[in-house]
Structure 1
Amino acid sequence: MSAALINGLAGAGGGIVAELITYPLQTVSTRQQIERDPSNSTSRDGIIRQMYQVVKQEGWERLYGGLTPSLVGMAASQGVYYYFYQVFRNRAESAALKRWKKGVGDGSISIFQSITVAALSGCINVLLTNPIWVVVTRMQTYKKTNKMRPTHGLPCALDETSRNAVVENIPYRTSHVVQEVYDDAGLWGFWNGVTPTLIMVSNPTIQFMLYETILKNLRRKRASNLKGADGLTTLEIFLLGAIAKLGATLVTYPLLVVKSRLQVKQGLDDDKRYHYKAD
């Protein structure tokens, strides 16, 4: 088994475990991102309070709406990313080694090359898996109501009360969402939100730049310390990484909001001011 395939499988397994643990938080977060009305109380509620409201009004299962396609998406995303990352890195290292044999460089890839490899892998991942995340976003944001939603295959002869009763008992399955996306926007609807998602590939780059900048400044301040410039504890390195990730997330979070609003269903009865188009 190749190193690229091993990395892909390991990434997929780790992604599935993380998704199972954090999924309810993701569901609530996505719902908050698509809230268009700032006067709505749900847009101001905390995570725990909103989770309570979802359970109270819609049941526990709504916190896990879309979990199955999400697990598939996470496994696919992590697998695709790490597979292509290893493939591109192997090629970059091979090229660097050839240059070294010719007397150019030291045989290792540069930081810029590492960032490029990560960015290319991220872009391929986004393009291949975006359809899955469109489905997941719609399933996370679907809310149980008494309103009739479009369905396929229900008898037209049913009166309105009967149709509503039937619709209320039909689970919002993955197959329904796939058909709904296709009916709304055709095949390209599965790539709604792909542009901001591609831009968000820069998140790890921003994180790395912040980490290196903070680390450089900290080492400069400690240059005269008895521990020396490299005297950083494991906890300090962990905190530096967390701060850098927080900074990168704050910078790219608006793009995440835009992505979610592009992917969520645009209701025909919604205020037209709150409709979003991927153009």
Structure 2
Amino acid sequence: MSDSTVHAIAGAGGGIISMALTYPLITISSRQQVQKNGKSKDAYKSTLDAVQKIVAKEGIAGLYSGLDSALFGISLTNYCYYYFYEFTKSVINKAQMSTIESMSAGAVAGAATVLITNPIWVINTRIATRNAGTPDQKPLGTIETAAQMIKEGGLKTFWQGVAPALILVANPIIQYTVFEKFKAKIAKTRALTSFDFFLLGAISKLAATSITYPYIVVKSRMQLKKSDDAKERYDSIMDGFRKIIKYEGVAGLYKGISSKIVQSILTASFLFMAQAKLVDYVARLLVSLGVRAQPKRI
């Protein structure tokens, strides 16, 4: 197996670990993003308020709504991203890529990943936000949600929000470019530690999320079931921006950003730290299984 596959498997494993550790923050952030009426009694006023209301109405399990689809989604997302990113790097075939080359590798990997995994994240967004406005609804699992989506809107429903998701390819491009540049600088002076990977993951994700967050809000809302109310329905990215600003103000574009930034930073930090550790373990495991050649000793 190629190095691209090794990195992809390690990335999938790191994604599962980081997602499992930070999922309640994802649930809270997703619900705040799609929350349009911030004045109702059920509205989440803050991260702590969201935790209290979700636990009171749905129990601890409410914080983990859609975890199964999210774990599957993040493993597939990270597998695809790392595979295409490392494959593109191997095609460029340089030990140290320029900023443009690094961004190009990220763009190829990100676009391929979005097109493959968008259906999973549409399902996850619907599961995670289902109880936000109507807590008495019967919870639906991944298969039931997918079946309901097909019944209501056909297969095209699985690619709702794909346009802003493709624009959000900029998020990992920014993240991995910042990460690679700082990593290269540190590597020139000393060997990187697990804490270095944790810290670099935090810094790179903070930069990426802060810049792209309004698109994350629009994407989350476009992935929901389309409303019959023209005011609630977003027909395009710009239509989403226009209606959010008109009815909720500029602040509407940043709903849930505090919990999202904390979640994103922790997720990226755990991901980079775990992925860096898992690469060697995965490589050795594949060699022991006979599906990867023993690396040549120099």
Alignment TM-score, normalising by the size of structure 1 = 0.71
Compared with structure 1, are the counterparts of its residues 18 and 244 closer, same or farther at alpha carbon in structure 2 (3 Å cutoff)? Answer: closer
Compared with structure 1, are the counterparts of its residues 253 and 48 closer, same or farther at alpha carbon in structure 2 (3 Å cutoff)? Answer: same
Aligned residue pair count: 230
Work out the CA distance in 2 between the residues paired with 1:186 and 1:82: 31
Work out the CA distance in 2 between the residues paired with 1:252 and 1:203: 6
Mark the runs of 5 or more structure 1 residues left unpaired by the alignment: 97-106, 148-167, 220-229
1:116 aligns with 2:104: yes
Compared with structure 1, are the counterparts of its residues 278 and 85 closer, same or farther at alpha carbon in structure 2 (3 Å cutoff)? Answer: same
Work out the CA distance in 2 between the residues paired with 1:78 and 1:244: 16
1:274 aligned to which of 218, 226, 232: 232
Match of residue 256 from structure 1: 216
Compared with structure 1, are the counterparts of its residues 17 and 240 closer, same or farther at alpha carbon in structure 2 (3 Å cutoff)? Answer: closer
**Percent same amino acid among aligned pairs?**
39
Give the alignment's Cα RMSD to 1 decimal.
Answer: 3.2
Q: SS at the partner of 1:143?
A: helix
**Superposition deviation, residue 276 in structure 1:** 2.1
Q: SS at the partner of 2:36?
A: coil
Assess if the C-alpha contact under 8 Å between 1:196 and 1:259 holds in 2: yes
Kindly provide the amino acid, as one letter, of the partner of residue 249 in structure 1.
T
Instruction: State the Cα deviation string for residues 42-95 of structure 1 (Å, max 9, x = none).
Output: 5552112211111101222221111111110000000111111111111110xx
Assess if the C-alpha contact under 8 Å between 1:134 and 1:264 holds in 2: yes
1:195 aligned to which of 133, 156, 163: 163
2:114 aligned to which of 122, 126, 129: 126
1:136 aligns with 2:124: yes
Assess if the C-alpha contact under 8 Å between 2:114 and 2:166 holds in 1: yes
Instruction: State the Cα deviation string for residues 229-271 of structure 1 (Å, max 9, x = none).
Output: x89xx99998787455424312210000001001112355xx4
> Which one has the largest radius of gyration?
1
Instruction: State the Cα deviation string for residues 70-124 of structure 1 (Å, max 9, x = none).
Output: 110000000111111111111110xx6xxxxxxxxxx754221121011100110
Assess if the C-alpha contact under 8 Å between 2:11 and 2:82 holds in 1: yes
Match of residue 27 from structure 1: 27
Structure of greater relative contact order (alpha carbons < 8 Å, 6+ residues apart): 2
**Superposition deviation, residue 31 in structure 1:** 0.3
Kindly provide the amino acid, as one letter, of the partner of residue 174 in structure 1.
T
Assess if the C-alpha contact under 8 Å between 1:42 and 1:50 holds in 2: no
Alignment TM-score, normalising by the size of structure 2 = 0.67
Instruction: State the Cα deviation string for residues 194-249 of structure 1 (Å, max 9, x = none).
Output: 111111111244457778999xxxx9xxxxxxxxxx89xx9999878745542431
Match of residue 12 from structure 1: 12
